[in-house]
A and B are shown apart, each in its own frame.
Chain A
Amino acid sequence: MPDAPKQISLTIDGKPVTVSDGTTVLQACEKADSPVPFYCYHPGLSIAGNCRICLVEIQGAPKLQIACYTLATNGMVVFTTSDPTLKGRKDVLEFLLINHPLDCPVCDQAGECWLQDYYMRHGLYDPKFNEAKTKKPKAVPLGPTVMLDAERCILCSRCVRFTDEITKTGEFGIFNRGDHSVIGLHPGKTLENNYSGNVVDICPVGALTDRDFRFKCRVWYLGATDSVCTGCSRGCNTVIHNNRERDWRPHIADGGRVMRLKPRFNADVNKWWMCDEGRYGYKFIDENRLAAVQVRESGAQRAATWEEGLGRVANALAALRQAKQLDRAGVILSSHLTNEDLFAAQTFFKKLGLTNVVFQRPKPGKSDQLLLQADKSPNARGAQALGIAEGAQALLARAAKKELKLLWVFTQDLTQVFDAALVRQAAAGVELFIFQGTNANPTADMAHVVLPSTVCAEKEGTLTNFQGRVQRIQAAVLPAGDSRADIAICQLIGELLQVELPFADAASTFAQLAAGVPAFTGMTYANLGQSGALLRNGTSH
């Protein structure tokens, strides 16, 4: 074990605080609950020290010092609310604002703008600037995702450091000098790396805005729910921003519910970042959803009630059970389902006596060194931990050869994973082909019964990322249309088949899972907290 770092003590606004050696004054101030404002500082990037808003008074120093770069020392006395500190802050803010356009009413950053926030908190000066403002390019698309307004930029260089240090793609630069300095890309280039959206997150002002989100919804109409990205097996921690004024403002984004995803810090998973594939991959939550039960009648699907749909499934299963032919039924679960969904299904089928139960991963995709994983399933690791067999190939082949009478597919469009002809043959080879899922797709089109289920943004649960980290998701919006949670669907069919299931909701399901599956022993929603916990055989990586 390396020695623990040396501890040093200092006084901040009269409060004693102890930090380890190497801590900056800014970090110590946060620890002492005397936070100082900052723009250019970002904990995930190198220190630039250029915005100067974090200036603080330090006893004995001849002038104000920037808290972001100054190291805390033993016995240091810092004042974050003294007159010199407050004046320094106010002065710097005035400098930052003299050439800043007064376009807050039409700026998409309004409401989450650090210039606005700090002006209200630390500024409130009488403006003295009475000159013509410097003109710079406005509304410049930098690429498919990001829009630049150079006049709003405060030249903190966060985006430059992000593309230099994190993605190492180096798109951004600050050109010219003095008050003509302007942020931009090399002439003719576009910003198209898979992490471009992060520069919008870290831009403290309205200079870089999200082309997908801008002008869609004012940020003060947004609800925020902690969640996890389901785009790949990384499980980046996110916040789902939804339009919580939808009932009163149905015109916003054509009535869409989820407006955007933002990354949420998790030191062990995604730090502060998320990829564009995940960030902009939220559209399936509102688009192309399966909203009602469908049953096939004389070759075509038609809408039906849950009673009818569930009845067909239950009747078929009951018949097979009676004929002791449950071995001629197959279930293909999905690595998109939560641990709770999988556990409930696994328990149900086990009690029913149906043993041909596997899970299937989606087709592998692109990966990179930063976050993106080739395995696009948010919970394959969870399915493995539950001991569910993997791979649907054999079951599909048996169905195609008419060896199965019933095939029940969860969530995934199998035509994306397997040859579409095989899936068609499998669907045609069974007497009842059930698709239980969230979005319309060719596999769902083949089904005799379609049971609409909820997406991750609509339910509680946990997902286990590729590292074995079990992380919570929470419902940000209500179920779309007539869709129901997978656990609830299980429970209902169980009732119809007199299979007694104890799953009231996700929380109770998880409690039983934790009690029954060794890898999850000791976990509760409470102790998973904000950042999750590793499976007992998980790796921290």
Chain B
Amino acid sequence: MNLILQGLALGVLTGGLYALLASGLSLYFGVMRVVMVAHPAFLFLAAYLTYTVHTAFGVDPFLALPVTVPVFFALGVAVQRLLVARLAPDNLAMMSVLLTFGIALTIEGLLGTFYTGSYRSISMEYATRSLTVGGVSLPYDRIIAFAVAALTLGVLFAVLVKSRFGRALRATIQHPEAARLVGIPTGRVAGYGFGVGLATAAVGGTVLALITPFFPASHWVWIGKLMAIIVVGGLGSVVGAALAAVLLGVVEGLVLVTVDATWATMMFYVFLFLTLLARPQGFFGGRLAHRF
């Protein structure tokens, strides 16, 4: 029983991080109908940059954020404006996956060349301790990860709902032609949408570096996990992705403590295939999904 509670707690904490990581993917899909396979590669790029800042200057990994977040925002805008926007509109879905796949390979190769293929990790003094609540031990690094993810997601939602830019972005997601008609520069807004998406990858990468060791090829595992999350949630639905992230995080956590790590990761694919068989458009919204 205690074990189950432990798995549940860890699952919720990890699910929060998954929600943050998947939210970027939902944004890209929303604004451009693009499945950004390179998102996890950028995540690990951010993790490595954080690692470099941490080891070179000996500062807290979160102090890398003021540098990485603007850089990644600019990178995202550049990727959208210079690469994705140039693809021919027919067959955009397939070609964009191949394009971002190529970007992912490029990043993985560069990371492998500069940092070698061996494991890296950042261990902070506060990350090794844990908080015990009613027999369930919650590692501080997971709590911090969850808090940062929740905070970032909160800011993201606030921007999307309250700000003028957020309204323009949502209009672009809902109906690009209509948005253009009322005077929204949809091309530029889509570019900023990509920028915001990659900025979440910068935050996610820092958090990831804190809680888990990483090596250049580990982004493939994350592609599978995050894709499973956005398919289960319904492609293009930020809220759906967040719900599916917590659900799958909990399932993973429970299987991890009761069976083993292989099956825990396998659960993502099981859910992916079950969703495709039962409800290809996803379980939480995602009316956009079926055709893409």
A, B bound: no
Listed in ascending order, the chain B residues whose CB lies under 8 Å from chain A are none
Contact surface of A with B, Cβ cutoff 8 Å: none
